Chain A
Amino acid sequence: MLASLRRVLALVHKELLAVLKDARTRNMLLLQPVLQCLLFGYAATLDLNNVPYAVIDRDRSAAASALLAKLDGSGVFHRIANLTDIGDARRMVDNETVLVVVQIAPDFQRRLSAGEQAPVQVIADGRNSNTAGSALGYIDVAVQSFNADWARDHGLPQPPLQVVTRAWYNANLETRWNLVPALVGTITMMSTLMLAALSVAREREEGTFDQLLVTPFTPVEIMAGKAVPAMMIGVVQATNALLVAQLWFRIPFAGSYVTLYVGLILFLLAAVGIGLFVSSIAATMQQAMLYAFVLIMPFALLSGLTTPISSMPQIMQDFTAINPLRYAIDLVHRVYLQGAGLDLLWPDLWPMAIIAAVTLGAAAWMFRNRLE
């Protein structure tokens, strides 16, 4: 047992040297999580804060000005032009100069005063319908606020029911609070799965795998020697990403580090297991890398990183059951933002354990059978 442990440690040492001795590889593995978190933490926002818009005000009344003041004062809308012609508006939308055109009919104030509904026409550039939908939502809020003011100033009854909304765990609903913790899992998976997939494939391509086989190492020891270094690198990467989340973006950490790392290590075991399994079926490094990539892609897209899993069709939701990243992202979110403990995280932990057991077992079986 002790001898076996010493052999594994020697192999881990050798493997770490092989990966980290090259300064470029070392820098890439350690700095890349930091860079990606910084870049995407700023880039990935579904909140709008700069919507250029144009106005066609055919009424020019006090009410119209009050409505437009609501938009201009929102901090979201920036008026680029006051137009009189819808043709100009069309050109500005076509060129992507403005995202939204607001058109106020000549009888806007008259209808309001008469107690009628006064339409405000809003045209939005639907080339990215998600952005357009958000912009329309902000306009609705501004118009409602205008209506409340109008009702107050003219002694009209207020709507009978108020809704008071609060958001827990992320009071300002910032996309960044959701995305940066999710990147912790995504980035480490990309690197560790690839590293594991390449480690055996490289030895096989260079012919050193056969040499390893004539040493006293058992296949399980070889696998442990390949898995542990990749996981160690993954833990360091995750730590780097977490440091960016807390020290740079100042996203408050609600949970326990022990819980988080227990979950992450289980996740890395699953990722490395998949990598080693890929490695065991690939003939060359290139194949190992391409197969790994063909797996990483759907794992990343079906993980809840960019779009929520609950919005997917049922078949796709079922498929995410075998995706370790899905559990890892949920786990990091819940430990980081909600402060969940191990008892609540059980639904995330056992599937990752099963994925790790199945893939590592399959990889070990493949290696042993390739021995003969």
Chain B
Amino acid sequence: MIGQAGRPPRGASLLVAKVRRILALIRKEGRQVLRDPSSFAIGVVLPLMLIVLFGYAMSLDVKNAPVAIVLQDRSTEAREIAASFQLSPYFETRQAGSMAEAQGLMLSGKVEGIVLVQSNFARRAALGDASVQIVVNGIDGNTARIIEAYADAAVAQAGARAAGEDPGAAGTGGQAVVEDQLWFNSADDSRYFLVPGLIVLIMTLIGAFMTSMVVAREWERGTFEALFVTPVRIDEILVSKIVPYFLLGMGGLLLCMASARFLFEVPFRGSFLILIGASMLYLLVSVAMGLLVSSTLKSQFLASQVTLVATFMPALMLSGFIYDLRSVPLAIRLVSYLVPARYFVSLLQTMFLAGDVWSVILPNAAVMAVVATVMLALTWRATRKSLG
């Protein structure tokens, strides 16, 4: 032992002792992580699973939407409409004899939309006043809207064929046409924004969820109090709890970066060092949140549920990763400013797709640094207070 009675240790040897104590604790924590199969599950299996799910499974695109076609008019013009849907790569069509039959198909979930050509279609088409009715299943509004747009295009195509001309060609009179450019993601690939979001989710899980469980367990079992009677100090305990999960989180980050680059071929246009720095800040925030939750609640079940509700769900729903924060009500937008993941998502999306835009990076990094400091201070207080 260093610092025996009778000979007060000098500053340098005090520091050496401190570092040795921290290292010993880190070693113990690291072994615990490595030996427990459930840590492996959450540290390695879960990130890999999320990468696969986000990269390959999640998509908002619609293809082969099943629709029922009801032809009340059997004229060539009406068949032309049906053919247009049958030929479209976006639809899988089936005929329905009546509107009632189509409604039954919709109710049982066999079709997502109905195309109705009414009985007087050919006659009205001759007068230039024909219409095609489209009914969509509104339960999934986003899908419904996409189906509507595809249906519009299919009908327009049929109309153009009937008029004997290409759609959108000149001759129909002057019209404004939109020429759009999608900056930063010209391929319009949804993985480009899902993969940066995925990194945020994984780092939140490893940082907050795992740390909170581990520390809550020590509180529940009383081993945390046992630590207090040893010469180890609170800041040393906290450092030893932070380091292993911090390293695990950085490992998760590298895994994500590698799969983003080689598996999904998402471009990374910023600089790697800045990304590492920003990720370390966010990881510090989430580890500190996990520590704070567990030191306050001291129960594994409560800690796991609160971390899920307070860190993971907001990182998924309120970070701007899927849902655009500009369109939510003001009160919710104010709440979203309290979600640290929001700043990391904004920073990551910019670094991946736009590059080093300092006017985005600096404010977001500054907020994360402040949050990390506040969280760590609160954790330190929560741990110290419960000693008494």
Contacts and interface: CB of A to CB of B under 8 A. Distances in A.
A334 B155 CA distance: 29
B304 interface: yes
A160 B128 CA distance: 5
Given A25-B301, A36-B309, A287-B37, A143 B139 contact: no
Contacts of B56: 313, 316
A234 to B, nearest CB: 14
Contacts of B38: 282, 284, 286-287, 290-291
A194 B209 CA distance: 14
A69 interface: no
A94 B131 contact: no
Interface residues of A, number: 118
Contacts of A50: 326-327
A308 interface: yes
Contacts of B350: 96, 127
A112 B134 CA distance: 31
A258 interface: no
Given A44-B323, A96-B360, A165 B136 contact: yes
A52 B325 CA distance: 12
B98 interface: no
A189 to B, nearest CB: 12
Contacts of B327: 45, 47-50
Contact of B59 (A139, A162, A307): A307
A51 B145 CA distance: 18
Contacts of B346: 96
Interface in A218-275: none
Interface in B63-104: 63-65
Contacts of A156: 172-174
B138 A285 contact: no
17 contacts: A28-B302, A28-B309, A39-B332, A114-B174, A119-B177, A124-B182, A126-B185, A127-B185, A128-B193, A140-B178, A143-B176, A143-B177, A162-B129, A163-B155, A198-B300, A294-B41, A344-B107
Given A42-B332, A121-B180, A128-B320, 8 more contacts: A28-B302, A43-B332, A48-B324, A127-B193, A129-B185, A151-B175, A301-B53, A307-B60
What 8 A-B pairs have minimum CB-CB distances, sorted nearest first?
A170-B138, A126-B185, A173-B141, A167-B138, A156-B173, A112-B174, A161-B159, A290-B38
